[in-house]
Amino acid sequence: MIVQTGSWSLAAKLAAAANLFLSVPFVLHALGPAQFGAWATLVSLVVFAGFLDFGFGNGTMNLVAAAHGRGATIEVAAVIREGRRTLVMIAVALAAAMVVALPLIPWHRLLGLPVDAAGTCRAAVAVVLFTVVLAVPLNLATRIQLGLGRGDRAFRWQALGQLTTLALVIGLAWAKASFVVLTAAAVATPLFASVANTLSLTRDRTLAYSPSGHRPDLARRIRHEGLLFFVLQLSAALAFSADLPLISTLCGPTDAGTYAIVQRLFSIVPLSLGLIWAPLWPIYRQALASGNHDWVIRTLRKSLLLAAIVSVCAALVFGFGFDRIVSLWVHRPLIVGGTLLAGFAVWSVIDAIGTALATFFNAASIMRYQVIVASFFALTCLALKTWAIYRFGVTAVPWVTIATYVVTSLLPTIILGPRLVAIALAKDY
C-alpha cells in the first residue's frame, strides 16, 4: 500500500516541483522583480487553504482511517458525509467574510507595490482568496482517499492538476499575460483536479450508504479532533508561511522574490519526504486501530533515520551547488549570502526530523501536547522574525526559525518522546 501510494505521491510531488520551479524564470521574465515578488507572495498564500478548514479535513481522515481499519464501512460513509457537511458550511462563512474584507484592506501596501497598482492587487488577491475558499471543501476528497488507503487515486489527480497548471502558467507568461492572469492561473487551475477527485469519490456507492442519517456524535468528534489540528495548522502557517508577507511588507517585493527562490529550492526536501509522510499517516492510524504496535514502532524508527539521511544529503547538495543550480534555473545571477543558505540547509534537516515525529503524533491523536508546543513556538517565532527582519534583514529568518523550534519544540519532544509513544500505544482507536 505504501509503495503504490508512494509511487503516485512521487508523481504528484514531481509534478508539483516542476510547477514550482520551471514556472519561476518565465514569470520572473514576464513580470519583473517587483511584481514577481508579489506574485510569489500571493501564490504562497494558497497554503492557508490547509488550515482554513479548521482542521476538519485531517480530523475526518483520522476517523475514516480508524473506522476503515476496524472494517466499519457504514461508519466510514457517515464520517465522510458529516465531514463534507461541516466543510461546506465553513466555506460559505469564509466567503461572506472575504467579501466584506476585500475592499477594506490596502493590499498593494501589504505586497509592497505602488498605489497605482491598487486595483490590480485587489483583483489578484480576490482570485487567491476565493480559490482558498473553494479549496476548503474540495480538498477533503484527498484526505478521504488517504484514510481509505487509496492515496494513489488522489495523487493521480494532483499530478494532472500540477502539470496542467505548469503548462498554462508558462504559456501565459510567454504571452506576457498580466499579473492578475498569471496569479489566477497559478492558484485556480489545480482546483479542477480537486473537483475531478471529488466527483470520482462520490461515485463509490459503498461510501454513499449510511442508513442512520445525520450523526451528531460523529460531527462532534470531527469538530473536536479537527479544531486541535486547526491550531496546529494555524501555528505552522504563522511560523512558516508568514515569511514572504513579512519580507514584502518590511523589506520590499524584490527581497521577497529573492527569498522565495531560495525557499522554493530547499522546499524540495519536504516535498520529497512528503512522498512518505502523506500515505504513512493514515496507515499508522489503521495499524494502531488494529493493534499492530510492533510494526508501528519499527516504522517510526525507520522514518526518523530516513528523514535524517535524505535531508542531510539534500541540504549539502543545495547549499554547495546553489549558484550553479540557480543559474541553470532562473537564467540570471542571484546574489545570496552564505549565511542565508546555511540557515535553510540546517533548517531543512531539523524540519525533516520534526515532521517524521509529527506524522506519528498526528496519526495517534497526540494533540494536546502538540497544540501547546506548536502555539508557543508559532507566537514566539513570528514575533522574533518580525524583529529580526527589521533589525538584521532577510538573512536572519531561517536562523530564528531554527533557534525557536529547537528550544520550544524539538528538545521537549526528545525528553518526553518515550512517554508520548507509550500513551499512543495504550489508546483505543
Task: Find the range with the poorest average confidence among 11-15, 179-183, 224-228, 301-305.
Answer: 11-15
d(CA 290, CA 293): 9
Q: What percent of the chain has pLDDT over 90?
A: 25
Say what the pLDDT of residue 223 is.
80
Query: Per-residue pLDDT averaged across 350-355, rounded?
Result: 94
Grid cell locating 3 = 509503495
d(CA 227, CA 230): 5
- The pLDDT score that the predictor gives to residue 50 is 62
- Judge if pTM exceeds 0.75: no
Centre a 10 Å sphere on the Cβ of residue 319 and count the other Cβ atoms it contains: 18
The pLDDT, as a whole number, for residue 2 is 54
| Per-residue pLDDT reduced to its tens digit, 172-186 | 999 888 889 998 998
Q: Name the domain count of the chain.
A: 1
Give CA–CA dist 304/6, Å, rounded. 17
User: DSSP characters for 204-269?
Assistant: -HHHH--TT---HHHHHHHHHHHHHHHHHHHHHIIIIITHHHHHHHHT-HHHHHHHHHHHHHHTHH
Mean pLDDT in residue range 9-16: 73
Residue found under cell 488577491: 125
Q: What is the pLDDT of residue 228?
A: 84
CA angle 67, 48, 316 (to 5 degrees): 95
Q: What is the pLDDT of residue 206?
A: 65
Q: How confident is the model at residue 344 (pLDDT cuts 50, 70, 90)?
A: very high
Percentage, residues of the chain above pLDDT 70: 94
The pLDDT of residue 303 is above 90:
yes
Give the pLDDT confidence of 306-341 residue by residue, as tens digits. Answer: 999 999 999 999 999 988 888 887 777 778 888 999
Tell me, what's the pLDDT at 208? Answer: 60
Q: Tell me, what's the pLDDT at 311?
A: 95
Cα(241)–Cα(341) distance, rounded to whole angstroms? 18
Q: Which residue has the cell 530547499?
A: 266
What span, in angstroms and rounded, lies between the C-alpha atoms of 219 and 82? 6
User: What pLDDT does residue 231 have?
Assistant: 85
Which of 189-203, 228-242, 401-415 shows the highest mean pLDDT? 401-415
pLDDT at residue 63 in the model: 86
Domain that holds residue 47: 2-426
pLDDT value of residue 335: 81
Q: pLDDT-based confidence at 241, cuts 50/70/90?
A: confident
Average pLDDT on 39-61 reads 76
pLDDT (0 to 100) of residue 212: 58
Distance CA 137, CA 132 (A): 10
Mean pLDDT for 347-362 is 94
**pLDDT: which is higher, 14 or 281:** 281
- Segment 183-211, tens digit of pLDDT: 899 888 888 888 888 888 877 776 665 55
Comparing C-alpha atoms, which of 80, 39, 44 is closest to residue 62? 80
For residue range 65-124, what is the model confidence (pLDDT) as tens digits? 888 877 777 788 888 888 888 889 888 998 898 888 888 888 888 777 778 878 888 898
Q: What are 148-174's pLDDT values in tens digits?
A: 877 778 888 888 888 898 899 999 999
Supply the mean pLDDT for the chain.
85
pLDDT band per the 50, 70, 90 thresholds, residue 28: confident
Write out the three cell numbers for 166. 505548469
